[in-house]
Amino acid sequence: MTRLTTSFKALAACAVLGAGALAATSASAGECPADQTRPNARLTGEMMPLGVTDTVLGSVDLGPEIQGLAGRNLRFRKLVIQPGGVVPWHSHGDRPALILTIEGSITEYRSTCAVGIEHPAGDISLESGGISHWWKNNTDKVAVLYAADIKNDGAPKPSDNAM
């Protein structure tokens, strides 16, 4: 099986899992409570990874696929976060993502929310619009997440093209 075929099968699996998860969760699952949403609610967070394994299961170079996306890759990853584990503070300024919690539960600490957001199994987190955040497994069980994102591996940022 070619790497491209493997990548497309992995991405298709993510889409199927994601559709099932959306159907199984309520509209408010994994969202910041309206009274806790505000710009710059959180400016930083844990900066070092701890007890997390991040494995790329497949990727597609988008440059040959879609005009204007040179230097960007569509990735499908599996993250395993041990109890007490941390996915460190990072930005989605130019890297939209969908994160599906498959097993366990994990808490997200988002730049636009004053309280932690719980993501139990079956929940999907939508990461776009320039949010920054970090995650922590506050439980005594392993959390398993699948992530689909568009990574910038050298494409100019929108501000790089500004005149």
Coil/strand/helix, residue 48 = coil
Q: Which residues contact 155 (CB under 8 A, 6 or more apart)?
A: 69, 70, 71, 72
Which two three-digit tokens encode residue 85?
């584990």
The rounded distance, in Å, linking the Cα atoms of 41 and 119 is: 19
- Residue stretches of the chain with pLDDT short of 50: 1, 4, 6-10, 12-28, 160-163
The answer to whether residue 58 sits within a structural domain is: yes
Between CA 31 and CA 78 the distance in angstroms is 22
Q: Answer for the pair 149, 58: CB distance below 8 angstroms, yes or no.
A: no
Helix (H, G, I), strand (E, B) or coil at 93: coil
- Contacting residues for 41 by C-beta, under 8 A, at least 6 apart: 110, 111, 112, 113, 114
Please state the φ and ψ torsions of residue 146, each to the nearest 5 degrees. Answer: -115, 135
- Containing structural domain, residue 139: 3-155
One-letter identity of residue 92: H
CA distance 60 to 40: 33
Assigned domain for 163 exists:
no
**Domain at 81, CATH number:** 2.60.120.10
The reported pTM is 0.76
pLDDT of residue 47: 94
Question: What pLDDT does residue 40 have?
Answer: 92
- Determine contact, residues 30/116, Cβ cutoff 8 Å: no
In this prediction, residue 24 carries a pLDDT of 37
Q: Tell me 156's DSSP state.
A: P
The answer to whether residues 98 and 148 touch, using CB atoms and an 8 Å cutoff, is yes
Q: Give the model's pLDDT for residue 94.
A: 85
How much is the pLDDT for 8? 47
| Residue whose structure tokens are 């392993």 | 142
Q: How many domains does the chain contain in total?
A: 1
